């Protein structure tokens, strides 16, 4: 995406927020949670504590025995379930064929550096939280079978150089016992349950390393708190020899300095600084809760109580803030149902939960100038990060991190500061959940530029400083074929939806044809001009002039020279051949939702199962009311509350709901 000009991030004065907060309190809208207060709770009696501890059941790390009748449901290391039948070319394992994924990506996912933002002001917290949840409930087992994707340097819509000649791709590992005489299945290596896996991990070995205390194979020797040197996640060398640390995924900058990797419950914690910041936040939250518990409890008891609360907080924030921000509505909760299998489905993991178009082209944070030394500022700028004084206050610095610099660069979290990064996520809208994906994901994912030139980290200049192509959109299409995903219409039927009969029925456009005189053979689908934008509008429907500042900062609707439906038709010929991921991404959104009909159905089904089939879900009250009664700690907190309680950010400086970006200054 194009780099946006600097602008003020604050949309409301602190005074106005205080007034609104006071009114909300008087009206009973805002609840002050006892878990974020101190000194107001009557100390519990020892007899009550012992009674509570006798009834307290510790949830397994790997998801096993959550369902007492089906111990392996949702357990780490088991196969994803399926909603519909697997679709392989040979009925067993061979991926189906279709248009080359990069060819599709250049014509469907290519945003040509035009920013298009959420039409409902969903903030960047939506994609950040979505990834945090994703890393709690799913991670496919990687295989070693190479199946690289074609790359054509002569494609008239190709603008990137790729010295590799292909886009690297490796098939997921087949679940043992599948893919030879029966359909190939894939394995989820993490627990399916929303159990804060990303914070604690799924094995005693990883958890022991993460907790304070010795690492000797005995968790009883460990403290209740997580290891957080200087308040940040521990590096892999925090206990000396980094080779003995838990495995963490490495790429980009970390390949050359693996000891700089931060360690968390999930191996992907270093993938980008937004994710690293969220992981850090909830490790701090765990330690904050531990500090509220009486020291008369054992270290293990304090640890498990804090873990229970953190798990409930993740669930509560997901179901009361994250899903509503995406427009997902679920039936009223009826309590735990042991007949519901909460295991993540292959369709949800491979197609439905991939919303990569939402990921923002950069991340901004406001930092006090007094917190930044000149040396640190220059070090940030050397990486291509903008650091400039804000227009409102020269004592405030605005730090803008291009997406490419965010990847596998955990050093930036302490360098910029946890509070500013987390506050920045809620201050601006994310990109729209549509078919367009930022070029930093669509072409140069996780790569390091060939030269230290800040101008080539974002926008059209990126083509000049990267010599390989890694395309997340193309990989999404290929992964669907690798996992035997049904076609788009087959997927719709599997979720109880009617099949679409035309391409324009999918996109909501009036036409599925190219302009008169333009055909695929004469230049329509292969004409670079087909992707030009002819109309840009803001969230209020007002027209925006191309090339203006508003075209970079305010577009929520963009019309191209050729209909999306026409390009889909030229690629697939029939609606019955569309890859499920492509068709899902092309659907028009439902009213007041960030999702189309199919994606909405997929999210609703999976998140309902995760809720209804989890014996430890907060709605079943697995000891949570007793924790509140005995220790004054309530899991029912907003994400803004958690941020304010664990960083230097004042609650009044955050939106009441950080998942919704504030209305810009001067906008009614």
Residue 639 φ then ψ, to 5°: -65, -35
Residue with tokens 């810009």: 664
pLDDT in tens, 649-658: 999 999 999 9
What is the Cα–Cα distance from 503 to 520, expressed in whole angstroms?
16
CA distances from 602 to 87, 344, 506, 553, 665 (A): 18, 11, 16, 31, 37
What does DSSP say about strands 557-560 and 222-226: parallel, antiparallel, or unpaired?
unpaired
Low-confidence residues of the chain: pLDDT under 70: 1-44, 445-467, 516-523, 664-668
CA distances from 338 to 67, 69, 74, 610, 616 (A): 6, 8, 12, 12, 11
Residue 414: CB atoms within 10 Å: 16
Q: Write out the two tokens for 423.
A: 């506050």
Closest among 409, 406, 386, 415 to 398, alpha carbons compared? 386
pTM of the model: 0.91
Q: Are 64 and 78 in contact (CB under 8 A)?
A: no
Can you give the pLDDT at residue 487? 98
DSSP 3-state of 608: helix
Over its C-alpha atoms, the chain yields an Rg (Å, rounded) of 25
pLDDT in tens, 336-345: 999 999 999 9
**Average pLDDT in the chain:** 89
Beta strand segments in 284-352, E: none
**Helices (runs of H) and strands (runs of E) counted in the chain:** 24, 13
Can you give the pLDDT at residue 515? 74
What is the Cα–Cα distance from 63 to 316, expressed in whole angstroms?
19
Find the Cα–Cα–Cα–Cα dihedral 347, 469, 269, 228, rounded to 10°.
Answer: -170
Can you give the pLDDT at residue 51? 78
- Neighbouring residues of 201: CB distance < 8 A, sequence distance ≥ 6: 61, 207, 210, 246, 264, 265, 266
Axis-axis angle for helices 624-631, 299-317 (nearest 10): 120
CATH, range 14-104+118-485+579-653: 1.10.640.10
Residue with tokens 């939702």: 593
């Amino acid at each position: 995406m194009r780099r946006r000009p600097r602008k003020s991030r604050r949309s409301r004065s602190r005074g106005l927020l205080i007034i609104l907060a006071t009114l909300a309190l008087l009206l009973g809208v805002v609840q002050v949670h006892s878990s974020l207060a101190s000194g107001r709770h009557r100390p519990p009696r020892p007899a009550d504590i012992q009674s509570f501890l006798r009834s307290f059941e510790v949830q397994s790390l790997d998801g096993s025995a959550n369902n007492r009748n089906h111990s392996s449901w949702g357990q780490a290391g088991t196969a994803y379930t399926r909603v519909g039948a697997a679709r392989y070319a040979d009925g067993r394992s061979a991926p189906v064929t279709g248009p080359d994924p990069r060819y599709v990506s250049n014509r469907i996912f290519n945003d040509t550096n035009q920013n298009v933002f959420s039409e409902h002001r969903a903030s960047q917290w939506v994609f950040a939280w979505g990834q945090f949840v994703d890393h709690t409930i799913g991670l496919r087992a990687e295989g070693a079978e190479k199946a690289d994707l074609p790359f054509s340097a002569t494609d008239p819509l190709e603008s990137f150089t790729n010295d590799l000649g292909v886009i690297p791709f490796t098939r997921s590992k087949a679940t043992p016992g599948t893919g030879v005489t029966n359909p190939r299945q894939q394995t989820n290596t993490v627990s399916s349950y929303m159990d804060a896996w990303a914070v604690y991990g799924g094995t005693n070995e990883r958890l022991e390393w993460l907790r304070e205390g010795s690492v000797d194979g005995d968790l009883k020797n460990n403290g209740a708190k997580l290891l957080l040197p200087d308040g940040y996640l521990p590096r892999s060398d925090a206990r000396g020899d980094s080779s003995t640390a838990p495995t963490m995924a490495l790429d980009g900058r970390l390949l050359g300095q693996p000891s700089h990797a931060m360690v968390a419950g999930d191996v992907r914690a270093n993938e980008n600084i937004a994710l690293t910041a969220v992981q850090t936040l909830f490790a701090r939250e765990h330690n904050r809760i531990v500090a509220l518990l009486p020291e008369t409890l054992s270290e293990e008891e304090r640890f498990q109580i804090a873990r229970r609360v953190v798990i409930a907080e993740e669930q509560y924030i997901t179901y009361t803030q994250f899903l509503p921000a995406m427009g997902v509505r679920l039936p009223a909760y009826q309590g735990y149902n042991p007949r519901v299998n909460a295991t993540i489905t292959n369709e949800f993991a491979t197609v439905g939960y991939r919303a990569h178009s939402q990921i923002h082209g950069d991340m901004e944070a406001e930092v006090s100038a007094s917190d930044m030394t000149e040396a640190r500022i220059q070090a940030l700028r050397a990486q291509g990060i903008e650091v400039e004084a804000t227009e409102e206050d020269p004592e405030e610095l605005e730090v803008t991190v291009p997406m490419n610099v965010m990847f596998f660069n955990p050093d930036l979290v302490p360098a910029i500061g946890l509070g500013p990064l987390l506050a920045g996520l809620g201050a601006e809208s994310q990109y729209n959940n549509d078919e367009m994906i930022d070029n930093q994901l669509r072409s140069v994912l996780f790569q390091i530029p060939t030269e230290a030139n800040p101008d080539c980290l974002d926008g059209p200049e990126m083509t000049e400083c990267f010599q390989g192509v890694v395309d997340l959109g193309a990989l999404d299409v290929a992964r669907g074929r690798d996992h035997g995903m049904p076609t788009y219409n087959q997927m719709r039927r599997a979720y109880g939806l009617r099949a679409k009969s035309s391409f324009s029925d999918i996109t909501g456009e009036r036409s599925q044809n190219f302009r008169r005189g333009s055909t695929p053979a004469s230049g329509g689908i292969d004409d670079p001009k087909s992707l030009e934008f002819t109309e840009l509008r803001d969230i209020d429907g007002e027209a925006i002039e191309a090339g203006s500042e508003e075209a970079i900062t305010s577009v929520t609707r963009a019309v191209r020279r050729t209909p999306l439906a026409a390009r889909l038709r030229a690629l697939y010929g029939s609606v019955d051949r569309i890859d499920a991921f492509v068709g899902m991404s092309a659907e028009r959104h439902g009213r007041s939702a960030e999702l189309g009909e199919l994606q909405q159905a997929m999210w609703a089904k999976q998140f309902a199962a995760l809720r209804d089939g989890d014996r430890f879900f907060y709605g079943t009250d697995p000891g949570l009311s007793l924790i509140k009664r005995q220790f004054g700690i309530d899991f029912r907190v907003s994400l803004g509350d958690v941020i304010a309680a664990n960083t230097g950010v004042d609650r009044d400086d955050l939106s009441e709901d950080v998942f919704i970006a504030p209305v810009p200054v001067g906008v009614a």
